[in-house]
Structure 1
Amino acid sequence: MPRPALPRFALSRCAGILVALAAPISAAAARAPADLDACAHLENEVSVAGAALIATSPSTFDRFVADSRYCDMRSGLTPAWVRARDNPQCFVGYTCRTQDP
């Protein structure tokens, strides 16, 4: 017995959800490296959002967090600094690192 086709509105709704999920990823991927941004702006981005993707080079991103609430239970915090436009050692928050058992 053939499966019934999905209604047209269901397909458009799924497409809309996929676009919405991909938008933050593409926005982060298009972001300029941290060394082109001011330190205060980078610090604020992490502290206000709680977690942020920051480009550490033209092709590398890392996730920085404000505190342990933004890491999973098995992770610990490691202080993190990035090179900003106005500060070569800009403290932006922490990275989540899995702790060894």
Structure 2
Amino acid sequence: MRLVLTCVACAATLALAGPAGAQPRPDITAMSCAAAADLVARSGAAILTTGPITYGRFVRDSGFCTIEKATTPAYEQTRDDPRCFIGYRCVDPFSEGPGRP
């Protein structure tokens, strides 16, 4: 009986959270370089749409990565700059190597 009540409560919670999860990510290709860099700097970490079917997580500094990760500079295409520095990506220094895109 307790398990059934827990599952009903979980289903109700997921139903309420559904619409919030459907919100679109900011599209970096529609933003100016300054606006994209400012968004990452203000947020600390942000998941941004980078193309029609792609996205990425960008951070202000290594404090927004897990302890075993390093940062590498992130350059993305924005509305006004084909190679805009918007912040950093968290990478595994052993498998992805520091400095790799």
TM-score range, shorter-chain basis?
0.7 to 0.9
Alignment TM-score, normalising by the size of structure 2: 0.75
Distance verdict in 2 for CA 1:89–1:71, change over 3 Å: same
CA distance in 1, matches of 2:18, 2:85: 29
From the CA coordinates, give the structure whose radius of gyration is larger. Answer: 1
Which residue of 17, 33, 42 maps to 1:39?
A: 33
What CA distance in whole angstroms lies between the structure 2 residues aligned with 1:86 and 1:23?
30
1:82 corresponding residue in structure 2: 76
Partner of 2:71, secondary structure, is strand
More strand by share: 1
CA distance in 2, matches of 1:22, 1:47: 27
Q: Please list every run of 5 or more consecutive structure 2 residues that lacks an aligned counterpart in the other structure.
A: 96-101
Report the equivalent of 1:67. 61
CA positional deviation for 1:55? 1.1
Task: Indicate if the aligned counterparts of 2:25 and 2:47 stay in contact, CA closer than 8 A.
Answer: no
Paired residues in the alignment total 94
CA distance in 2, matches of 1:80, 1:23: 28
Which residue is equivalent to 1:15? 12
Q: CA deviation at 1:46?
A: 0.5
Identity over the aligned pairs, expressed in percent? 33
